[in-house]
Amino acid sequence: MSPSMSQMNTFLLLLALVLSLGTAHGQPTRILTGRLLDDRLEVVPRANIYARDTILIGTTDLEGYFKLDVPVTTTTLHFTAIGYEVTTLKLSRECVNLEVLLLLASTHDFMSVRRVNRQEFKRFKHLPQLYQQAYEKGLFKSRAPCASPFFTNWVPRPANR
């Protein structure tokens, strides 16, 4: 007596489910906790946190706190919120308490891209000082960040010819 088609489909579905569970639990993960503030040291509620640009892995609460369960192979995270510039961080392997500052979005009219990049980079360079102020006011727990933000030009510079 041979198995029916529906029994075979059920068996294959269960087999696929069991195999996928094995791969999901096979990746070691780590817990990242932290807080998100803006460059005025105010809370950023309901900000989205992405891995690899498009995979939503978390959202901050109303006080800017978050808790993430990420694979240990995750090296960068992207933080976005309405009215703020996207912040991309490179994580260190030891990082477990992640405290992040977002820059308010700005509009630049009648300016060259080169000038806009210079102005945005000046704002970006002030992040370490702002981080220190947040620590001194008790808003952040760590004296120094465990992840490093990196600046992204609006338009990449052309290659040297």
Diameter over CA atoms, the chain: 79
Task: Compute the distance between CA of residue 156 and CA of residue 147 in angstroms, rounded to an integer.
Answer: 24
| In-domain check, residue 8 | no
Domain that holds residue 68: 29-149
Task: Mention every residue, 6+ apart, whose C-beta is less than 8 A from residue 65.
Answer: 33, 34, 35, 36
- The CATH number assigned to the domain holding 46 equals 2.60.40.1120
The predicted-structure confidence for 45-100, as pLDDT tens digits, reads as follows 999 999 987 899 999 999 999 999 999 889 999 999 999 999 999 999 889 999 99
Cβ atoms < 10 Å from Cβ of 15: 10
The predicted-structure confidence for 113-135, as pLDDT tens digits, reads as follows 888 888 888 988 999 999 999 99
| In-domain check, residue 1 | no
| In-domain check, residue 4 | no
pTM for this predicted structure: 0.75
